[in-house]
Amino acid sequence: MRFSFLLTTGISAVFIFATVSGGLAQRVKSAAFSYLPEQTEDRYNQRVASKTLPVPTGGFVILAHKSATEYAVERYDADLKRLWSTSLSLAAGESIDGFTRNGTQVLVVVHQGSPAQQLLGYTLDLASGQKAPAKKLLEAGPRDRRPGAAFSPDGTKLVVWRYLTQGPQIKAISASVYDEKLTKLKDRTYDFHDQGGFFSSTVHVGNDGSQYVTLVGDEMKKLTVRRYRNDSPEVKVMSVSVGGTFGGKVVNVFDTRFRLLPDNTLYAAAICNERETGVYHSLKLVKFDFTAEGDMKFAPEFKFTPEYLAEVNKANGSVAKRLEDVYLTDLLLTDDKQLVVAAEKKYEEGGDDSPGHTRELHLFGYNEFQTPTWHSIIGKDQVAPATEGYSSIGYRAAVFGPEVQVVTWEKLKNKSDLYLRRLNVQTGVVSEPKGLGLNVASDQNPSYVKDFTAWLDAKTLIGVSRPSKKSAALMLNKIVVK
């Protein structure tokens, strides 16, 4: 179903003034917005999770899903005035695989499924919205594994890759690196014949075009990062075991999350569990520093003890016998390298067509030396229909100075709204949730799309929500927190 809203001619926005509980007051400005819910094969791992991107010179760009065959890239100023809108028509079997921006351009990657798999790249001028013709970036066989794409932190480099397999086993990855104009810089092949039969891999690209291939290997016990430069054949490798046999029980990697910084430092977090029982064992954190000669720092593990489970049960009011369905979701870093690892419980009731749930947030704080300093648990209970997957539930987070801001859509004390929590990164103390005054509708129709939630600054948020059950309209909102 398509949701749209038309405003009276000559009126481009609606102002709402609100003061909510706890003294948190803000000004809300809203404008028309249309959106078609995404249909994705993998609800747990969206290919484009952020569809609103702030522009440093002011305002933001949005990737809007207009209809089954049309997306649009749109730029707005800070007052929600649309400066330009450029259509992206998609044929049957095509989908968006990447969306970013840099100082001068917006880049979009489109996956084409047949007759052969292709990745196509589009560039749009950030000032005017003018779109260059599509450029074929990569081609793979129709039965090959789906190819991948990743952008550098500053959006000026792009790496695309396809898997070279022998039966079900990956033997190598063939990759190409492009600059922001989609000019090819390098073709590379990453060989995995030494990895054996059971591993997973991901490719990252730095602002300088270097590629970082992350591997979980040795039967899912070891984290490895390989760096490939464009100006040298040398391959720099750093590796550390995070699994093994402990107390007679085999422990391996269950879930991972990686974060590559602009200075070519890469953080890796891993949840490890017992292979036979699935019982959660510990959280491991590794810092791979590729500056200078290269260095690796392995943080002390955080063990998931019975005492920790008791804390989780207290936070969400449950009586769970063990941790389950908890996945890593964010690595959040302050300017002084204080780190917060975030994980969230997410699950479906019983199949592809059942409602999705997200429960408590697990937060783990580390200082600049990778020493664990605190942990916090944010209890919540969110549900969304299967048609939305996890696009409306969960959370969005951003770092400002020594603070992490977390936004959720919840119904608290019988009030459905967006709620803001503030996390002190030094202490792990989390503030009480404060409503943002949007009065978000709570029914079976799309009410909030978290993919569009973004911060323009520490006190200004952009979001998409539906204000009441009586309205079928989703609105683009600017919320200024006083």
Over residues 144-168, mean pLDDT: 95
- Please answer whether residues 160 and 148 qualify as being in contact, where contact means their C-beta atoms are separated by less than 8 angstroms: yes
Question: Alpha-carbon distance 297 to 287, whole Å?
Answer: 5
Number of neighbours of residue 336 by Cβ within 10 angstroms? 11
pLDDT of residue 114: 86
Structure tokens at 122: 């589009």
> Which structure tokens are listed for 222?
């070891």
pLDDT grade, residue 18 (50/70/90)? very low
pLDDT bucket at 353, cuts 50 / 70 / 90: confident
B/e letters for 374-403, b = 16+ CB within 10 Å, e = fewer, are bbbbbebebebbebbbbbbbbbbbbbeeee
Question: Would you state the pLDDT for residue 42?
Answer: 66
Q: What is the DSSP string of 107-155?
A: EEEEEE-SSSEEEEEEEEETTT-PBPPPEEEEEE-TTSPPPEEEE-TTS
Considering only CA atoms, which of 116, 173, 170 is closest in space to residue 143?
116
Q: Which two tokens stand for residue 318?
A: 């449950």
Residues 6 or more apart whose Cβ sits within 8 Å of residue 242:
221, 222, 223, 253, 270, 272, 284, 286
3-state secondary structure of 239: strand
Residue 466, SS3 per DSSP: coil
Asked if 58 and 39 count as a contact pair (C-beta separation under 8 A), the reply is no
pLDDT tens for 285-317 read: 999 999 877 899 999 999 999 999 999 999 999
pLDDT at 23: 43
pLDDT, residue 476, reads: 96
Indicate the pLDDT class of residue 21, thresholds 50, 70 and 90.
very low
Q: Which helix (H) or strand (E) holds 217?
A: strand 211-217
Beta strands in 156-199 (DSSP E): 157-166, 169-179, 184-191
Confidence of residue 41 (pLDDT cuts 50, 70, 90): low
Confidence of residue 40 (pLDDT cuts 50, 70, 90): low
Query: What does the alpha-carbon distance between residue 205 and residue 185 come to, in Å, rounded to a whole number?
Result: 12
CA dihedral 398→62→388→38, nearest 10 degrees, is -140
pLDDT in tens, 405-416: 999 999 999 999
**Neighbour tally for 114: CB within 10 Å:** 11
Distance of alpha carbon 112 from alpha carbon 402, whole angstroms: 42
